[in-house]
Structure 1
Amino acid sequence: MLSQQCQYIGGLGILYRGFNQAEVLAKTLSEYTGISSTFENYARIKYTKSQAKSSKHKRATQIKGVFCLTKPVIAKHLVVFDDVLTTGSTLAEFIETLTKGSQIQKITIVTLVRPE
């Protein structure tokens, strides 16, 4: 069971709606499972246009360098929550940024939607 194995849940995905729906969902999951949540260890330092109509290659190049680690994460097991997973480019860039300088033994990725 996740609540017995994980220490932190973090949300990914700032949207142009005035709120971060991935963060809202991650906090709800955190409350439900009793797993602590953290959103202060990273920042998005560059914003990109919507990538919904971009090719997989273009998404991968547009997303490079958009995140920075603000504080190292020390966790045996980290859950990263992403609301929508399309090509995985944003998630891959986020995980790469997060793991540099952090001490994370295991990462579990939870997504709400995987469009075809």
Structure 2
Amino acid sequence: MNKQPITSVEIGYHNMYGEHEINQDNITKKNQKTMDSKEQSNENLKENKDKTKLQNQKKQNSITVFFQNYYIQIICLVVIFTLSILLHLFFYIKNKYYASENYNKKNSIIYLPTK
């Protein structure tokens, strides 16, 4: 029985004697295709990186432009300062009240003397 040679389109083929012969043209074509696809993917990655950089710059620019106005900076500082003062006053008054005699009289426990 005569067997047909096994052929491989991409890399090479087997001849009648079972020896593997490599077809260089197909290998170079395959390598060229992979190189082209790698170059294409690299270009796509670069484009995506450029797009994300531009988007990040737009976001940063909008924030920095907002705070570049001196009036807004001053208003933000004043608001933060007044909130911190109000918070300190709240805790100061709260601690003063709890340390006062009125609070201690209200919540003190009276122990009756025992015999």
* TM-score class, shorter: under 0.3
- TM-score using structure 2 length: 0.16
Is the radius of gyration larger for structure 1 or structure 2? 2
More relative contact order in 1 or in 2 (CA 8 Å, sep 6+)? 1
Compute the TM-score of the two structures, normalised by the length of structure 1.
0.16
Larger strand share, 1 or 2: 1
